[in-house]
Amino acid sequence: MSQQNTATKTIRFEIRRQDKPELESYWEKFEIEYRPNMNVISALMEIQRNPVNADGKETTPVSWEMSCLEEVCGACSMVINGRPRQSCTALVDQLQQPIKLEPMATFPIVRDLVVNRNVMFDSLQKVKAWVPIDGTYGLGEGPRMPERKRQWAYELSKCMTCGVCLEACPNVNDNTDFVGPAILSQVRLFNAHPTGAMNRDERLHTLMTDGGIAECGNSQNCVVACPKGIPLTTSIAALNRATSVQMFKDFFGSDHMVD
């Protein structure tokens, strides 16, 4: 925090707002009293309690999403000073002022900082990102995953569907159906599972269609932006190889090629 802001004990925000999806967005400035160790969420809660902008005019409370406040749920994703990230772990003391808050542009706007991330969940359904089991009766103990594989698979399982990697990816836009790095990584995760591997070929075939692995431009923005440090580019590289092998299997009709 700058010396001037510390002396005045205020925090300055500029928030991109939009009352309805069909309306134009606009910027609104706010100033709130400074407290040590504030994060962006706590600052937004202060604005919500007293919705008065920097000009002293009463306004509507700012809308945003949050849940766990522990960087686990992914709900509070937004663009902070030009960088997509989680607002619960964005500390005011570490941000340059005025702090600019914007909704993620990759997703349809709902209101203010709230966006609709249904496209991510639709993509997860498209690639069957789950382990299919029959839950109508006891199946006994499931197959064990080798420890070495379990360790890297656990890292992939940290994905919270926050949408930050899609926001950072230049290939996720209105001109493409690219599912995005998070969904690709989930395919690798569930294909690695002993039971999930039953649908391995089906998932790979989905990635070989429009919007799949071929749409990745290898910008590597995703792995830099991911708040959980998931090795997304490693997953993408592994899936490039897996889909290439699958293509040769389909062409030659062989089930004996090396994975």
Could you read off the pLDDT of 156-180 as tens digits, one per residue?
999 999 999 999 999 999 899 999 9
Burial of 6-17, coded b for 16+ CB within 10 Å and e otherwise, reads: eeeeebebbbbb
Residue of 74, 181, 189, 180 whose CA lies nearest to 131: 189
**pLDDT band with cut points at 50, 70 and 90 for residue 2:** very low
Name the pTM for this structure: 0.89
pLDDT above 80 (res 190): yes
Cβ atoms within 10 Å of 107's Cβ, excluding its own: 19
Place of tokens 């190889």: 241
Name the helix (H) or strand (E) containing 227.
none
Task: Supply 177's token pair.
Answer: 């159906």
pLDDT above 60 (res 258): no
pLDDT (mean) for 39-50: 96
pLDDT above 90 (res 5): no
Helices (H), 99-141: 118-126
The two counts, helices (H) then strands (E), for the chain are 9, 7
pLDDT of residue 254: 57
Residue of 71, 122, 120, 101 whose CA lies nearest to 230: 71
Q: What is the pLDDT of residues 24-38, one digit of tens each?
A: 999 999 999 999 999
pLDDT of residue 74: 95
Start-to-end Cα distance in the chain: 52
